[in-house]
Every structure is written in structure tokens, then in C-alpha cells.
Structure 1
Amino acid sequence: MTTALAAPTEPWSPVEFEARLRTVGQERYHDRHPFNVRMHEGDLSPAEIRRWIVNRFHYQRHIPVKDALITAKLDSSRLRRMWVRRIEDHDGRREGEGGIERWLRLGEAAGLDRATLQTGEAVLPGVRLAVEGYVNFCRLRPPLEAVAASLTELTAPDLMRLRIDAFESHYTWIEPSGLDYFRTRVDQGRRDSDEALALVLEWARTREEQQRAVAALTFKCDVLWALLDAVQQAGQHSDDQPSGRRGQM
């Protein structure tokens, strides 16, 4: 009779733990999704680009919401000051600033009325479910997992650079100023991911905690993938423009 070996319980070294987190992003980040691949190859129609902008905005506008939930979990002024900056990055310090405003300008540059994005009436059910799942994850899970889920930012700067090149090369009908969101996120994403990674490496001291952090990042990748699944599937059934289109390509 053989005796089953007990699962290893020693924590991974910091180097191995970081490598495992980065591997999740390399293998599961939504840059590999067929919709994003087609986007970067210049294969999307104006209707598909606009549908993506409208639905992705539903995610964008909830980023400061989930960051406010994370901020409330942090137990020191230093950490709260660090994390509240993310809210300011998206909401701005005053009207007309921030990442949400820049995304609205992207919509306008692509020929969408601002109201089309703000009302959310054209947001797909699958996108609503994915975003709600992520917000509730950050609401209900402990700080380690909520912060670890944000580590998709480890891969985001490279995606932003790729997206800028793709839009400048293939979607010249979009006004160049509309790409300011992507340009800003290159540096912001690198800063944010460095800060979040340092926290996760510090907080996850046991193998179980490390595994929960990896699972949280995997979950976030699934959220982003599900969002694109919904957008892609909608495009297979209709090539109509989202309501509120103005102008031509």
C-alpha cells in the first residue's frame, strides 16, 4: 500500500512567487483574446471598434469604484494615500480630467456621442456581469486578493504601446487625440503594477496566501476575457452601430 505524499506547504521564494504571478499574465491576459488580436492586426470594422469602446467604458467607469473599495480595506495612511491616487488618475482632481474623461474623448474621436457611453444603455449583459463580478470581488475579498487581482497591470503597459501603434496604423479615421488614454496608461500602469506587486510579495507569506494571490490574478484575467467574449459574440450577430453614432469614418 502506497502512502500519498503531502502537498508542499513551504512558501515559494519571492523570485518563484513573482515568476508565477507574471506567468499568469503572460498566459492568460486578454491581449491573447481573438478580438484583441484582430484589433491589433487592423481587422476590426468601425462598428466593432465602437462597440468595444462603449462596453469597455462600463469597465473603465468602475475602476475608481473598485479602488475605493480596496482603499477602505487598507490599514495605514501611507497605503491609503498610495491607493487613492489611482482614483484620482481615473476620476481626475477636477471636472474634465482623468482617465474616464479621456475614454469619453476616445468615444467622441471614434464618432460616438458622449451620452451613448454615459447612459450605459448599449452595454451588453455579459459585460455587466463581468464588471459586477470584479467589483464584488474587491468588495468581499481581503486586501491581499483584491490587490493581487490588479496585477494585470504588469502586462498592461506593453498592451497600451501595441494598441497605440495599431490605432495609429490601422484606424486613422479615429482622431489622434482620442488615444491620450492609452498614452497616459503606459507610465501609470508601470507605476501601479510596481506598487501592487511589492505589496503582494510582502503580504503573501504562506504558500496558501501565495496561491490565493495567484488565483485572484487568474480571476481578473478571466473577467477581462469574459468582457471581450461578450463583445465578440455580439459582433457575430449584428454589425449595427451602437446608438448615438455621429459622423463617418
Structure 2
Amino acid sequence: MESTTAGNRAAGTPDRGGIEAWLRLGEACGLSRSEILDHRHVRPGVRFAVDAYVGFARTRPWVEAVASSLTELFAPDLMAERLAAFEKYYTWIDPDGLQYFRNRLVQAPRDSEHALEVVVAHCRTPAEQDAAEAALSFKCDVLWAIMDAIDHAYA
């Protein structure tokens, strides 16, 4: 798997994109690249939730897909907490693999600011604003479904 030029720019690194950083995180946690790429460890509820979100983004108006990404507004603080927890409690993970989270500390604020600008510019009517709010709510439901599926599988 090779990163795209756009993915490289988004990751802020000259030779590796966001997907590559995600793969390195999985490897740092002890998974082989083939285990990550063939999705053998993805729980069915997680797969269902992710597929529902991808389907939403493909079939809804583009501005609603952008609005659904506004969960990123809360990502920087969450990513910082997540990174600190990984560094404190999961010392067996290769620190280089945590670059995925470090990248998100920079990317999430930029992505969410752009998404917010798009939504404010294009969601002018009450109906458009309601649709944007519903899209964001849907994304929150997707994230809860992912967390519930993981909790159910491993708790």
C-alpha cells in the first residue's frame, strides 16, 4: 500500500500519509501489516458502524458529509489525552508508532476549522442547518456504536 500525494501533505510528512501512520500504529501495537490490511481483527459491530458512515458520506449531500465531520472539533483535546494515556499506560508500544496521534493534534484543528467554515457558509436555511445538525448527530451515533462494539467484545 502506498500513500497518495494528498495523504502525504495531510499528514505533514514528505514521504508518509495518514494511512501509513495508522499502519505503523498497528505495527507498534504488535499487529502485522497483513493483519491490519485484511481486517481480521475488526469486530462486526465496528465494521457495521464504519460501513454505515461511509454509506452516509457517499449518499448524502456533500455539505452534510462535511457537517458530520464536525466531531473533529473535539478531537484535539481527546487526542492529547489519548496520546498521554498511551505513553503512560502502554509503555510496550513503540513510541514511533504513536505518530498517528501526534499528527492528529495538528490535523484535527485545521480540518475542523475548515469544516466549520464550509457548514456556516453553505447551511443558511433552517432546513439546511437541521440537516447539518442531524449529520453531526449521526456521526456521534456511529462513534458510540464503535465504542459499544469494542466494549462488548472485550469487557
| RMSD between superposed Cα atoms in Å | 2.1
Q: What TM-score results when the alignment is normalised by the length of structure 1?
A: 0.57
Aligned-residue offset at 1:147: 0.6
1:126 corresponds in structure 2 to 45
**1:183, 1:223 → 2: CA distance?**
24
AA paired with 1:177? D
- The 1:234/1:160 distance shift into structure 2, 3 A limit, reads same
Please list, as runs of the form range in 1=range in 2, the aligned pairs for 1:58-207 lying within 5 A after superposition. Answer: 85=6, 89=10, 97-207=16-126
Helix, strand or coil for the counterpart of 1:202?
Answer: helix
Query: In the alignment, is the contact (CA less than 8 A) between 2:7 and 2:17 conserved in 1?
Result: no
Task: State the Cα deviation string for residues 60-116 of structure 1 (Å, max 9, x = none).
Answer: xxxx9xxxxxxxxxxxxxxxxxxx9568636x886xx11111111111111111111
Q: What TM-score results when the alignment is normalised by the length of structure 2?
A: 0.89
**1:201, 1:142 → 2: CA distance?**
15
Identify unmatched segments of 5+ residues in structure 2. none
* Alignment: residue pair count: 151
**2:24, 2:8 → 1: CA distance?**
19
Which of 224, 229, 232 is the matching residue for 2:151? 232
- The 1:204/1:219 distance shift into structure 2, 3 A limit, reads same
Identify unmatched segments of 5+ residues in structure 1. 1-63, 65-83, 237-249
AA paired with 2:96? S
Which one has a larger percent helix, Structure 1 or Structure 2? 2
AA paired with 1:131? V
- The 1:182/1:147 distance shift into structure 2, 3 A limit, reads same
Please list, as runs of the form range in 1=range in 2, the aligned pairs for 1:7-86 lying within 5 A after superposition. Answer: 85=6
Task: State the Cα deviation string for residues 188-224 of structure 1 (Å, max 9, x = none).
Answer: 1101111110010011111111111011001011111
Helix, strand or coil for the counterpart of 1:205?
Answer: coil
**1:109, 1:170 → 2: CA distance?**
14
Following TM superposition, the consecutive aligned residue runs of length 4 or more in structure 1 with deviations greater than 6 angstroms are none
1:19 corresponds in structure 2 to none
AA paired with 2:136? L
Helix, strand or coil for the counterpart of 1:155?
Answer: helix
Helix, strand or coil for the counterpart of 1:112?
Answer: coil
Query: In the alignment, is the contact (CA less than 8 A) between 2:69 and 2:136 conserved in 1?
Result: yes
- The 1:87/1:186 distance shift into structure 2, 3 A limit, reads same
Task: State the Cα deviation string for residues 35-79 of structure 1 (Å, max 9, x = none).
Answer: xxxxxxxxxxxxxxxxxxxxxxxxxxxxx9xxxxxxxxxxxxxxx
